Amino acid sequence: MAGVSVFFAFDALPFMDLPAQAGLFALRARFATSPFEQRFYVFAPHLGGYSMFRFLGGALTSAIGPLDAVRALQAAGVVALPLSVLDARRRLYGRASPDFGFIAIALGFGLMTAFGFASFLLGMALLLECTAVGLDLLTKVDAEERTWPLEVALGVLAMLLLLMHGFAFVIFLGVAATAAMVRSGSRSRFVCARALVPAVALAVRAAWLERPSTLPPGSVPAPPPRAGLLFQSLADKLSLLLTPTLLTRTGIDIAVGLLVWGIAIGGVVSTIGWLKQMGAPSHSREMGRAERHARSLLACLLLLCGAFLILPHEIGWFGFVDGRLVSVILVYALIGVPDAAMGRRLGFALRWLAPPAACVTVVLALVASHVFQREAAGYREVFARVPADARILDLPVDPDSEVFAGHPFIHYDMLMVAQRPLLVSDVWLHQGSAIFPRPGNPVLRLPADYRPSDMHRVDWSEFVLQDWDYVLVRTKPEAAPPATPAALRLVEHLGGWWLYSTDLLSHVAG
């Protein structure tokens, strides 16, 4: 309950992508009756990655509004991850110790939540369910037991995983192929592949519809991303290993992360030692089952570690690619340790350190959220001065928080879109949002290097101010007034929020 309250007890959202998702939920919900937004956008959804997230967001928006919808979905992801870890261990090893759930809570409140990656957290939970059901299916095939109920379950779960998050589905395909190859029987591989045919077929169709050369009728290409493939240096990539529990800038969550890594590495080492002691496969059915699962999951871990080293940081508009794999690696390490492989030290760490780690993480999130309210103060009053059907240029000169990790303020302009029809400069125009630009959309004339997450200075000469009715600048609350062209007139300033009008006479603030 305390963990869920993090998302509902405070007004200002410190989780980076949630304001953007709230705005998109509202935009899509009213699009059919909004001539202003129809003038600038094309809404073209189809079944594929993010479809389930869009559906859930739309359903919740109609019931409780877009802001509470994103809060509920992020909370659902944080709750679903530990539940999926526990269920996976129950399926694989016959019992589920709550200590593993506590570790998963610490992971759930890490950078995936700081970034507001609600869809990926939900996708991770489904990924673990698919993995556990898939391994269970392979075991039943090996034992020549009835498999069709598990085949159906795996097929349905894989379809839901694809519709929730395409990248998580791709990870599962690699994991499923690796686990099947570790098995000795060709029939087990055939049965596993047969169960995944519908999901793979839908994925191929979605990939075909989303190919770069295809655009929905009436739309034009969106501004290109910074790079098709962006690779970081080795030092930057290795620094991602500290991010799975990174929620704040206090350093406390880093200490929790080191504990999680210690438990994960200790579990892998214990599992390898236990498998060596086992030697040849055991004649005991239960012990043989645990051994087969452990061998498969170790192979999957090796695959995921290799993918982390090889994959880029960005692929087109999809970012933080390799960083997402770090959390996946840790949850696979958690579900891969058989109870029989746990030694005294690992058992002690899980029993006595995991619950405090989860408690510290949740308390830290609550305290940091309380402090964050002072940083965000004034946004509601300033945003209320913008009328419907306006065009807003968003310039978050300082998008960072002093307490939260990530860039919490880069999508705050979308909170206005969550309330009324508007056009903002910071909107996701791609297959994931199902929103595409029409000709004449002023977003198309933004500078090529316009990136709200990395805007420490503004070259006003690069912007066509006539395209916009208002300019929103975010600075630190104590910062001096930003330098602006004479054509801009200050409408409102509170805290770190500065709202300017490009034509004061035509926009009389209420």
Same domain, 275 and 303: yes
Please give the structure tokens belonging to residue 319.
Answer: 């970012």
CA dist., res. 414 & res. 470, Å (int): 14
Q: Is position 329 within any domain?
A: yes
CA dist., res. 278 & res. 293, Å (int): 13
Q: Cβ(75)–Cβ(7) under 8 Å? A: yes
230: region left, alpha or beta (phi > 0 left; psi from -120 to 50 alpha): beta
Q: Is position 23 within any domain?
A: no
Q: Is position 166 within any domain?
A: yes
Same domain, 300 and 386: no
DSSP 497: E
Residue 413, CA atoms < 13 Å, CB-side half-sphere? 25
pTM equals 0.94
Same domain, 302 and 449: no
Domain tally for the chain? 2
Last residue of a domain, one of 319, 342, 365: 365
CA dist., res. 349 & res. 475, Å (int): 43
Same domain, 339 and 385: no
Q: Which amino acid is at 233?
A: S
Last residue of a domain, one of 301, 334, 365: 365
Q: Are strands 422-424 and 390-396 parallel, antiparallel or unpaired?
A: parallel
pLDDT of residue 280: 55
Q: Is position 214 within any domain?
A: no
**Among 119, 122, 113, which Cα is nearest to 368's?**
113
Q: Are strands 229-230 and 435-437 parallel, antiparallel or unpaired?
A: unpaired
CA dist., res. 23 & res. 29, Å (int): 10
Same domain, 336 and 193: yes
Q: Is position 386 within any domain?
A: yes
65: region left, alpha or beta (phi > 0 left; psi from -120 to 50 alpha): left
pLDDT of residue 343: 85
Same domain, 140 and 275: yes
DSSP H helices in 223-284? 234-239, 252-278
**Which strands form 229-230's sheet, in the order they lie side by side?**
229-230, 314-315, 318-319
Q: Cβ(62)–Cβ(56) under 8 Å? A: no
Same domain, 435 and 500: yes
pLDDT of residue 386: 97
Q: Is position 39 within any domain?
A: no
Last residue of a domain, one of 312, 338, 365: 365
Range of the domain at 447: 380-506
Burial (CB count within 10 angstroms: exposed 0-12, middle 13-18, buried 19+), residue 149: exposed
Same domain, 124 and 273: yes
Length of the chain: 510
> How many CB atoms within 10 Å of residue 210?
15
Same domain, 385 and 361: no
Q: Is position 370 within any domain?
A: no
Specify which residues 436 forms β-bridges with. 42
SS3 (DSSP) at 85: helix
Specify which residues 390 forms β-bridges with. 422
Q: Cβ(137)–Cβ(176) under 8 Å? A: no
CA dist., res. 163 & res. 160, Å (int): 5
Same domain, 272 and 416: no
Same domain, 186 and 52: yes
Q: Is position 304 within any domain?
A: yes
- 510 residues of the chain, pLDDT tens digit each: 778 999 999 999 999 999 999 999 999 999 999 999 999 999 999 999 999 999 999 999 999 999 999 999 999 999 999 999 999 999 999 888 899 999 999 999 999 999 999 999 999 999 999 999 999 999 888 777 888 899 999 999 999 999 999 999 999 999 999 998 887 667 778 888 899 999 999 999 999 988 877 899 999 998 887 667 889 899 999 999 999 999 999 999 999 999 999 999 999 999 999 998 877 554 444 458 889 899 999 999 999 999 999 999 999 889 899 999 999 999 999 999 999 888 889 989 999 999 999 999 999 999 999 999 999 999 999 999 999 999 999 999 999 999 999 899 999 999 999 999 999 999 999 989 999 999 999 999 999 888 888 777 888 999 999 999 999 999 999 999 999 998 899 999 999 999 999 974 444 433
Same domain, 116 and 148: yes
